[in-house]
RNA sequence: GGGCGCAUAGCUCAGUUGGCUAGAGCGCCGCCCUUACAAGGCGGAUGUCGGGGGUUCGAGUCCCUCUGCGCCCA
């Protein structure tokens, strides 16, 4: 019988659409939630940023994860493989503003009947409430998510499409807010006044990623500070920002600087403002810069912030959110003369204040010489025109060990509990955690994002009392404090004296992303699911976000559950373009994946991706895709041939030594691939499978072809067919994680069900069939066969040309093995008379038969 | 300035606790219409394993050092 359905002309065309649809229909990858935690392999899939553009970098790392998922599924695990979309944050905010012609005004009430303007006008954006804005974000990102999903399906990712989430979705908001409230109740979240990079034009905090340095002219002013011990002695500092003199909290010099060592621990008095400040030592003070001793102000630049923080200095801000000198005279300025000086600059822009302070210093004789003009780098918001100020604002923080050595040690320990792939990535985690010097700032002065779910009571003058926090009930989450009302208050009392106000901020996107295991796994929403999938088995991610995504996830899980969020971290590398630059949208060197899938097939593109070793940056290389395509086609043809021999059963006795040897080799291959996969080294698993496969088709199949066709050598033919069937079965399975389409196609020719739920091959079972087979024979036979071919190639004759006589000389062991294959070697090489002789290595000498026309 | 990684054939890369003459594919050259595959097959040539030093019977592999490149942090 032939139970096979082998097509006449196998092709890769159309496989992707056909099998993607079949898997979807059959629910091949649907998570079976009756399985218990020990039967489950769960994946904390990275949610890609839904920004409307796709590139091959996406394909690369997601393929790695899918190969692992498919392997584990074949190992019998029920794989929990969800998909998330990262549509939270600024990129989406900007796109929505431009696309719909709207802007977010959190003070506005929610309008359930709102619809965006028919013809968006970027210059006259319609102001809408935060909830309306978020709804538009969701609408727009859904379109992008459809495009991503099509790509993922086409690529063959074995995702359970019933398990999806959006980082701005209601569930993500609920999880983010709930986790935050738990942190707050346990004392892990707190608010504090802290210095923030601030754009005075836009009146917004600016993130590190939005900074740019610009060269600007400046001038050093040399200013004398009388020492307290002897007011006739002055210490001279040089500063480019004399307007901040009233904000001076200390002078600082390098600890090794002998000029200033006697002053450490003493105090000096600021000129014109008469404030006594200490002289301190810090490594970052540069003896070569200016006079070698600097004025620390709160805050002139980022170094001031570091000094202020590390030296525990007081906070004396004088610049307001509008960039002007604060109107009220600060409490640390006490003498009437100093107060008069301050009043002279109060309310001025920093530019005007600088002129006035310099004038006052000139009058008092505390400035020396002319200003020395320089060019220096100044930090700007990338879209701003004025230099950034550093202002102190009230922000929310979560403890991450940055200020607590005990917690830090616990988090370092957590990092060492994670199994890292590759192992050296652990060091990056440790370096980061050990180098932390502050807690995690999670509040952002943005519109789009998960709102901080709090309100504050307002005093009788309408000023917020930040110590009187009002939290929502957990059951009411998610909430938007800008439209929802705290318990016990009338909506009318919003922003009224004696009433309440919403916290205006949203959370950092990492505050949500740090909870992806909880979001996807049903934490607090579906405790039964959560128990079956957590802690997650593997977190796949890129190396540059170990310090952000990975670390913050560990922090949340440690604080909430006192355990790891995931057991393994699989770190992927980047895609580099052929010039070895990181591929990114801004460089314009991005290759879009759909065209590649069309040209080379999904299996071929996956082959390229899977060749990239874990954690290693990999060059974009269509050459690898061509090889992958060739491999997939070869798999079709070789399978067609094997099945065409009716080699579909492996229950016949495997009697021939060559066949046993092949199976011994196969068992070894399976074992190596399995070991590699267990170590998350999918690339190695592919390599060993591929290496075996080419040897199988090039040599073994050629060798046993004649015997397998034989009608006289019944036992020999049966043995060959059984070995072929066994090998084909195992090979398809070894390749299934990498080439899901072509292996499924071939599987369907002769087997029932999906290959992707069939059991991973067992090296023990294959070894049992191999009996006393000697794997070393495979290489010897290949070598002999290769030399027989070479002799024909050298003689420029067809491979079918008849060899009259051949002598193989080889070592005793090799000869022993080769003689067992003599029959097959003779038929494969068309050798009429084959004899063996003693020698060192395998050498074949032949006498070709006279050509017969 | 600190940390991590990389450097092997013209190209892209393997090379596992040190072990026979360092491998694969692409590309290149030659041959073969061969009854699974000519969009294929078979065969061939190609190396100062970045430089220098050390440990060892033996080093691409371990140690030191230098150079170049990448990333993260300061």
In tens, the pLDDT along A441-469 reads 888 877 778 999 999 999 998 888 999 99
| Residue A512 pLDDT grade (very low, low, confident, very high; cuts 50, 70, 90) | very high
List CB contacts of A104: < 8 A, sequence separation 6 or more: A93, A127, A128, A129, A130, A133, A447, A448
Name the nucleotide nearest A435; use CA and C1'.
B73
- Whether the CB of A633 is less than 7 Å away from nucleic strand B comes out as yes
d(CA A158, CA A207): 36
Q: Evaluate if pTM is beyond 0.80.
A: yes
Neighbouring residues of A754: CB distance < 8 A, sequence distance ≥ 6: A22, A23, A26, A28, A744, A747
Q: Which of A266-275, A580-589, A788-797 has the lowest mean pLDDT?
A: A580-589
| Distance from C-alpha of A811 to C-alpha of A818, rounded to nearest angstrom | 10
A648 touches strand B (CB under 7 A): no
Q: Which two tokens stand for residue A811?
A: 């070592």
Q: Provide the β-strand partners of residue A83.
A: A164
pLDDT digits (tens, 9 = 90+) for A544-587: 888 889 999 999 999 999 999 999 999 988 887 655 555 544 44
Rounded distance in angstroms from the CA atom of residue A284 to the C1' atom of nucleotide B2: 14
Q: What is the mean pLDDT of residues A24-32?
A: 96
Q: Which nt sits closest to A639, CA to C1'?
A: B36
How far apart are the C-alpha atoms of A780 and A424, rounded to whole Å? 39
Q: Give me the pLDDT at residue A624, please.
A: 85
**Shortest-distance nucleotide from A783 CA to C1':** B43
Contact, A643 CB vs strand B, < 7 Å: no
Residue A253 has pLDDT above 70, yes or no: yes
Residues of chain A above pLDDT 70, percent: 95
Cα dihedral sign, A339-A344-A346-A352: negative
- Proximity of residue A431 CB to strand B below 7 A: yes
Of residues A358 and A441, more confidently modeled: A358
Kindly report the length of chain A: 853
Residue A841 has pLDDT above 80, yes or no: no
Helix (H, G, I), strand (E, B) or coil at A65: helix
Residue whose CA is minimally distant from B33 C1': A798
Indicate the burial class of A579 (C-beta count within 10 angstroms; 0-12, 13-18, 19 or more). exposed
Can you tell me which residue has its alpha carbon closest to the C1' of nucleotide B1? A284
**Overall average pLDDT of the A819-835 stretch:** 89
By C-alpha to C1' distance, B4 is nearest to A428
DSSP annotation of A696: I
CA of A609 to C1' of B59 (A): 32
**Straight-line distance from CA A691 to C1' B24, in Å?**
9
Confirm whether any atom of chain B, the nucleic acid strand, is less than 7 Å from CB of A694: yes
Residues 290-329 of A near strand B (Cβ < 7 Å)? 306
What is the tens place of the pLDDT at every residue in A723-773? 999 999 999 999 999 999 999 999 999 999 999 999 999 999 999 999 888
Closest nucleotide C1' to the C-alpha of A696: B36
Estimate the share of chain A in helix, then strand, then coil, as percent rounded to the nearest 5: 45, 20, 35
Question: Is the pLDDT assigned to residue A1 strictly greater than 50?
Answer: no
A94-98, A469-473, A491-495, A847-851: which range is least confident on average? A847-851
Q: For strand B, list residues 435-494 of chain A whose Cβ lies within 7 Å of it.
A: 435
What contacts 24+ positions apart, CB below 8 Å, involve A10-15? A10/A633, A10/A636, A10/A637, A10/A639, A10/A640, A10/A745, A11/A636, A12/A601, A12/A603, A12/A629, A12/A632, A12/A633, A12/A636, A12/A741, A12/A742, A15/A601, A15/A603, A15/A741, A15/A742, A15/A744, A15/A745
Is any atom of nucleic acid chain B found less than 7 Å from the CB of residue A822? no
Please state whether strand B lies within 7 Å of residue A282 at its CB atom.
no
- The predicted structure's pLDDT at residue A207: 56
List Cβ neighbours of A8 (8 Å cut-off, separation of 6 or more). none
Q: CB of residue A698 closer than 7 A to nucleic acid strand B?
A: yes
Give the angle A476-A481-A485 at the CA atoms, nearest 5°: 70
- By C1' distance from the Cα of A576, the closest nucleotide is B70
Reply yes or no: is the peptide bond before residue A351 cis, omega within 30 of 0: no
Give the distance, in angstroms, between residue A734 CA and nucleotide B29 C1'.
35
The encoded tokens of residue A444 equal 């952002």
Query: Which protein residue's Cα is closest to nucleotide B32 at C1'?
Result: A798
Protein CB footprint (7 Å) on chain B nucleotides: 2-5, 11-16, 21, 24-26, 30-37, 39-44, 69-74
Q: Verify if strand B has an atom below 7 Å from the CB of A697.
A: yes
pLDDT at residue A577 in the model = 63
Which nucleotide lies at the shortest CA–C1' distance from A608? B12
Strand B contacts in A 547-606 (CB under 7 A): 547, 576, 578, 580-582
Query: Within 7 Å: CB of A413 and strand B?
Result: no
- In this structure, of A153-162, A400-409, A836-845, the range with the lowest mean pLDDT score is A836-845
Q: Count other C-beta atoms under 10 Å from residue A26's C-beta.
A: 12
Note the pLDDT of residue A344: 92
A428 Cβ within 7 A of any nucleic strand B atom: yes
Identify which of A374, A222, A241 has the alpha carbon closest to the alpha carbon of residue A293. Answer: A222
C-alpha A516/C-alpha A587 separation (Å) is 30
**A638 CB neighbours strand B below 7 A:** yes
**Average of pLDDT values for A219-243?**
89
Q: In the prediction, which pLDDT does A330 show?
A: 92
For A137, phi then psi, to 5°, come to -60, -45
- Segment among A39-43, A291-295, A412-416, A584-588 with least mean pLDDT: A584-588
Chain A span 136-175 residues with beta carbon within 7 Å of strand B: none
- Which pLDDT value is given to residue A673? 92
Can you tell me the mean pLDDT for A822-843? 86
DSSP for A619-672 reads: E--HHHHHHHHHHHHHHHHHHHHHHHTT-----S----HHHHHHHHHHHHHHHH
Neighbours of A145 (CB within 10 A): 19
Closest residue to B39 by CA to C1' distance? A630
The per-residue pLDDT for range A477-494, each reduced to its tens digit, is 999 998 899 999 999 999
Q: Which residue has the higher pLDDT, A67 or A147?
A: A67
The Å distance, CA of A410 to C1' of B38, is 64
pLDDT in tens, A301-352: 878 887 887 788 888 989 887 888 999 999 999 999 999 999 999 999 988 9
In this complex, the answer to whether residue A790 has its CB under 7 A from any atom of chain B, a nucleic strand, is yes
Sign of the C-alpha dihedral, residues A529, A531, A532, A536? positive
Residues 664-683 of A with CB under 7 A from strand B: 672
Q: Which tokens belong to A773?
A: 């087979």
Nearest to A296 by CA among A376, A369, A195, A381: A195
Range scoring the smallest mean pLDDT among A76-85, A511-520, A583-592: A583-592
pLDDT of residue A209: 43
Q: Which of A223, A204, A550 is nearest to A360 (CA)?
A: A223
* Confidence label for A116 from pLDDT (cuts 50, 70 and 90): confident
CA distance A757 to A494: 57
E runs forming strands in A759-824: 803-810
Tokens of A8: 């006449």
């Amino acid at each position: 019988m032939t139970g096979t359905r082998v097509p006449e002309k196998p092709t890769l065309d159309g496989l992707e659409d056909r099998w993607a649809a079949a898997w979807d229909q059959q629910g091949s990858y649907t998570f079976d939630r009756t399985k218990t935690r020990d039967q489950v392999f769960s994946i904390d899939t990275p949610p890609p940023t839904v920004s409307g553009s796709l590139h091959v970098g996406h394909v690369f790392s997601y393929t790695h994860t899918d190969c692992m998922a498919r392997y584990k599924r074949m190992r019998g695990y029920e794989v929990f493989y969800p998909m998330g979309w990262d549509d939270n944050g600024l990129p989406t905010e900007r796109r929505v503003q431009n696309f719909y012609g709207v802007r977010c005004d959190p003070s506005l009430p929610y309008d359930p009947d709102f619809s965006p303007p028919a013809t968006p006008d970027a210059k006259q954006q319609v102001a809408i409430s935060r909830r309306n804005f978020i709804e538009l974000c969701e609408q727009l990102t859904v379109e992008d998510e459809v495009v991503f999903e099509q790509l993922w399906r086409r690529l063959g990712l074995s995702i359970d499409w019933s398990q999806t989430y959006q980082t701005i979705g209601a569930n993500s908001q609920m999880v983010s807010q709930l986790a935050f409230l738990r942190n707050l109740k346990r004392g892990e979240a707190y608010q504090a006044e802290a210095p923030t990079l601030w754009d005075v034009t836009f009146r917004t905090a600016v993130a590190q990623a939005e900074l740019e340095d610009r060269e600007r002219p400046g001038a050093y002013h040399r200013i004398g500070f009388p020492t307290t011990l002897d007011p006739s002695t002055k210490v001279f500092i040089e500063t480019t920002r004399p307007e901040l003199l009233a904000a001076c909290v200390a002078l600082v010099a390098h600890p090794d600087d002998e000029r200033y060592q006697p002053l450490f621990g003493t105090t000096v008095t600021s000129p014109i403002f008469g404030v006594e400040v200490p002289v301190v030592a810090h490594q970052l003070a540069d003896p070569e810069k200016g006079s070698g001793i600097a004025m620390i102000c709160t805050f002139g630049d980022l170094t001031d912030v570091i000094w202020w923080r590390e030296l525990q200095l007081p906070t004396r801000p004088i610049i307001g959110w509008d960039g002007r000198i604060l109107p009220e005279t600060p409490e640390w300025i006490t003498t009437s003369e100093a107060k008069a000086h301050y009043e002279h600059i109060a309310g001025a822009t920093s530019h005007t204040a600088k002129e006035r302070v310099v004038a006052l210093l000139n009058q008092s004789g505390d400035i020396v010489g002319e200003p020395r003009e320089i060019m220096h780098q100044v930090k700007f918001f990338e879209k701003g025109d004025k230099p950034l100020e550093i202002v102190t604002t009230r922000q929310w923080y979560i403890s991450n060990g940055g200020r607590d050595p005990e917690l830090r040690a616990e988090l370092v320990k957590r990092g060492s509990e994670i199994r890292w792939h590759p192992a050296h990535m652990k060091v990056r985690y440790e370096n980061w955690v050990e180098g932390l010097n502050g807690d995690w700032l999670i509040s952002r002065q943005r519109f789009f994002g998960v709102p901080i779910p709090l309100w504050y009571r307002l005093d009788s003058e309408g000023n917020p009392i930040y110590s009187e926090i009002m939290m929502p009930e957990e059951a009411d989450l998610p909430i938007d404090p800008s439209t929802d009302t705290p318990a016990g208050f009338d909506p009318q009392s919003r922003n009224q004296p004696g009433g309440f106000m919403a916290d205006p901020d949203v959370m950092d996107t990492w505050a949500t992303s740090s909870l992806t295991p909880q979001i996807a796994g049903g934490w607090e929403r579906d405790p039964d699911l959560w128990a079956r999938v957590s802690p997650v088995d593997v977190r796949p991610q890129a190396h540059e976000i170990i310090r952000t995504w990975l670390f913050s996830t560990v922090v949340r899980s440690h604080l909430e559950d006192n355990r790891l969020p995931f057991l393994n971290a699989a770190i992927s590398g980047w895609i580099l373009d052929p010039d070895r630059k990181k591929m990114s949208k801004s460089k314009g060197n991005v290759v879009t994946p759909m065209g590649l899938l069309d040209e080379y097939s999904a299996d071929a593109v996956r082959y390229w991706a899977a060749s990239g070793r874990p954690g290693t940056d990999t060059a974009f290389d269509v050459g690898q895709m061509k090889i992958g395509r060739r491999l997939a086609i070869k798999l079709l043809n070789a399978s067609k041939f094997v099945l065409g021999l009716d080699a579909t059963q492996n229950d016949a006795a495997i009697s021939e030594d060559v066949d046993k040897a092949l199976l011994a080799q196969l068992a070894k291959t399976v074992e190596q691939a399995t070991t590699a996969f267990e170590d998350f080294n999918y690339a190695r698993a592919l390599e060993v499978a591929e290496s075996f496969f080419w040897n199988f088709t090039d040599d073994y199949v050629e060798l046993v072809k004649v015997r397998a066709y034989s009608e006289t050598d019944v036992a020999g033919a049966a043995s060959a067919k059984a070995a072929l069937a066994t090998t084909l079965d195992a090979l398809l399975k070894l390749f299934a994680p990498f080439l899901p389409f072509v292996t499924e196609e071939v599987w369907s020719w002769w087997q029932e069900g999906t290959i992707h739920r069939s059991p991973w091959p067992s090296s023990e079972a294959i070894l049992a069939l191999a009996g006393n087979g000697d794997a070393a024979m495979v290489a010897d036979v290949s070598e002999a066969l290769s030399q027989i071919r070479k002799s024909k190639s050298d003689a420029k004759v067809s491979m079918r040309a008849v060899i009259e006589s051949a002598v193989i000389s080889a070592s005793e062991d090799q000869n022993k093995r080769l003689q067992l294959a003599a029959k097959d070697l003779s038929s494969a090489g068309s050798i009429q008379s084959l004899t063996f002789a003693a020698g060192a290595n395998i050498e074949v000498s032949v006498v070709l038969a006279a050509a017969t026309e």
